[in-house]
Amino acid sequence: MPGFFNVQPPDEALQTLLGQLDYRVGPEYVPASAALGRVLRDDVSATEDLPTFARSTMDGYSVRSADTFGATEGMPAFMEVVGAVPMGTAPTVSLSPGEAATAFTGGMLAGNADAVVMVENTQVVGDSSIEILRPVAPGENVAQPGEDVSAGDAILLSGHVVRPQDIGGLLALGMTKIRVARRPRVAIVSTGDELVPPGETPGPGRIRDINSYTISALVEHAGGVPERFGLIRDDLALQQEAAQKGLAESDMLIFSAGSSVSSRDLTAEVIGSLGSPGILTHGISFKPGKPTIVALVDGKPVFGLPGNPVSAAVVFDMLIRPAIYWIAGCAEPPSLPTVTAILASDIPSLSGRQDVVQVRLERKGDNLMAEPVFGGSGLIFTLVQADGAIMVPLDRGGMYAGEQVLVRLY
């Protein structure tokens, strides 16, 4: 099965896959406090009003607002302080006309009070009396019940990726357990006669397997659980066995091909033999990453990644990261960090193909400069030296020094 067929731009390849990808990992319950980065599997609505009580937003005095009308510094309203409502307690005092009670930020108001006067707008004039120097409107300096959120309000939707503040919102409502997607299990099969495990010293013509480890780290970073299913030599039966096992025991299979064309052809043959509908895209019109395979087997996504490490990392970002989030139930993965910079040198490109070019960032005076790091896509240190990458669009014959570029940061 040599050569490429059904070559697509990366966006189209992703849409082709997602359009047919109904598979979702199952749900599980986790403590909300440990849910950072997990994908919600329920729409969540508020179960109660927050705050649950009218809460002072200032330190000062709770009052009947009508008693303060017309108060000025020149003609303050005189009030008797009949008590206090300490933090975390219900009021034991109730106000009659002309009375006030000490209030704390976050605390309750005295009975009959409907507003709070900031301490800065008062003056102590005796053991238990104050002057109020500015009027307050009803509700002033008070957070009303339900002002933060009302019972029944939709607060988070299924598919949302939980952030620190969401944990706060959930716990504020007493939701200590939530239903999220199980972390997608991603099987990684590394292939190629030239590979040895990284702990070994390679013999002549051999290199250490690094792709299965960089891919594992990328999977982890995308919220998945990487599982390595071996380092398999270029043998059809052995590779089929590893692929079938990996696919059966996981939610997604990533097949990392060897670097030779024959190894890539073998990868295509193995993936093509796994089941239906099989290969959707074989060949992606961008550099580096052309020899990528996207397939769907028994409902699960299968990827054949080019053997060279730069391509593998770039293709991962474009296709596999979104697919991991997708099967967890999230259609919009969290954004990756970017920065705007000025291109330091020209980049030649081929029109009709997207290029991803690695760059190093350097601050020169007020400008952040992006210097392209060229180098064969088989060279891992091209990526190690890079601070990020820029995309040369499909319809551009290249890019010129001085242009503003968006750098996807590593």
Q: Which of residues 187-216 bind its own copies (CB under 8 A)?
A: 192-195, 198-211, 213-216
Distance CA 33, CA 43 (A): 18
Considering the rule CB under 8 A, would residue 384 count as an interface residue with its own copies? yes
The smaller minimum CB distance to its own copies, of residues 87 and 248, is found at 87
Question: What residues numbered 218-247 form the site for its own copies, per CB under 8 A?
Answer: 218, 220-221, 234
* H or E element at residue 155: strand 154-156
Helix, strand, coil percent content, the chain, rounded in steps of 5: 20, 35, 45
Which residues have a Cβ under 8 Å from the Cβ of 27 and sit 6 or more positions away? 41, 179, 180, 181, 182
Considering the rule CB under 8 A, would residue 371 count as an interface residue with its own copies? no
Say if strands 300-305 and 398-399 run parallel, antiparallel, or are unpaired: unpaired
Considering the rule CB under 8 A, would residue 383 count as an interface residue with its own copies? yes
The nearest distance, CB 260 to its own copies, in angstroms, is 4
SS3 335: coil
Question: What residues numbered 72-131 form the site for its own copies, per CB under 8 A?
Answer: 85-90, 104-108, 119
Question: What residues numbered 267-306 form the site for its own copies, per CB under 8 A?
Answer: none
- DSSP symbol at 336: P
| Degrees, nearest 5: CA angle 283-284-289 | 100
337, 407 contact by CB (below 8 A): no
The nearest distance, CB 264 to its own copies, in angstroms, is 9
Q: Which stretch binds its own copies (CB under 8 A): 5-13, 163-171, 270-278, 279-287?
A: 163-171
Considering the rule CB under 8 A, would residue 155 count as an interface residue with its own copies? yes
Question: What residues numbered 310-329 form the site for its own copies, per CB under 8 A?
Answer: 313
Distance CA 186, CA 313 (A): 15
Distance CA 128, CA 142 (A): 23
Task: Tell me the site size for its own copies, rule CB under 8 A.
Answer: 95
The nearest distance, CB 135 to its own copies, in angstroms, is 21
Considering the rule CB under 8 A, would residue 164 count as an interface residue with its own copies? yes
- Cis ω on the peptide bond leading into residue 51 (within 30° of 0)? yes
Site string for its own copies, 44-63 (x = CB under 8 A): ------xxxx-x-x-x----
The nearest distance, CB 231 to its own copies, in angstroms, is 12
